[in-house]
Copies of this chain bind each other. A is one copy, B any other.
Amino acid sequence: MKVLLFAGSLRKDSLNKKLVSVANQILQDSNIETTVVDLQPLEFPVYDADIEAKGIPLNVQMLSQFVNEADAVIISSPEYNGSISSPLKNTLDWLSRTKPMNLAKKQVLLLGASPGELGAMRGLLHSKIPFEAMGNFVYPRVYGLPKADQAFGENNKLVDPKRQENLAKLVSEFIEHCKNFN
C-alpha cells in the first residue's frame, strides 16, 4: 500500500500543508509507505489548451507518475469562495490531460483545514465533484478542521487529542477500506 498526499494550496505556511503532515505522520506510524508532494515549486501554469498543444508540462507528468504509483490519494485542501481551491482544480485539470490518465479509479480521501468555524466543509463537498467525474472513488466521509490557525501542535500532531484521535480513526478506516482493492 502506497499513499500519495498533497495540499490544495500553494503558500509555504499553508494550514493544509500542516494537516497533510499530520495525516502523513499517522500513516508512517502505521508503517504505510507515503509520498508527499508540495505543489508550489511545481509552478503549474493555469490550464490552457494552447500550452498543452506544445506539450504537457514536465512537472504535471511527474505528478501523474506519482499518482500512478499510489494506491490511494489523500488531499487536504482549503475552501476558496465556498468552493474548490483554484490550485487544486488546476492540478486536477492538468492531470486529466495526461496519457495514461492515472487519476482514475483511485481511492481518494479529502481533508480540509480552515481558520473559520466550518472547517472548509463547503469546499470539500464542492471538491468531490471533479474527482468523481474523473472516475475516482471519493471516500464518503471527509474531515474538516475548523479554527486551524490554533490547531497544530508539535511533532506533527493536532493540539486537541480528541481531534487527533478522530483524524487518526478516519485515516485508518480509509486505509482499511482501500485494502479491499489490493
Contacts and interface: CB of A to CB of B under 8 A. Distances in A.
Contact of A86 (B86, B122, B134): B86
B47 A82 contact: no
Contacts of A83: 84, 89, 129-130, 133
Interface size class of A (residues with CB under 8 A): 35 or more
B81 A96 contact: yes
A40 B47 contact: no
A86 B47 contact: yes
Contacts of A140: 131-138
Number of copies: 4
> Which has the most chain B C-beta neighbours within 10 Å: A14, A84, A92, A137?
A84
Interface in A111-147: 117-118, 121-122, 125-126, 128-138, 140-141, 146
A11 B93 CA distance: 14
20 contacts: A10-B46, A10-B47, A44-B46, A45-B45, A47-B85, A82-B130, A83-B84, A83-B129, A83-B130, A84-B89, A85-B93, A86-B86, A86-B89, A117-B117, A121-B122, A122-B133, A132-B138, A136-B140, A138-B140, A180-B180
Interface of A: 9-12, 14, 40, 44-50, 80-87, 89-90, 92-93, 96, 117-118, 121-122, 125-126, 128-138, 140-141, 146, 180-181
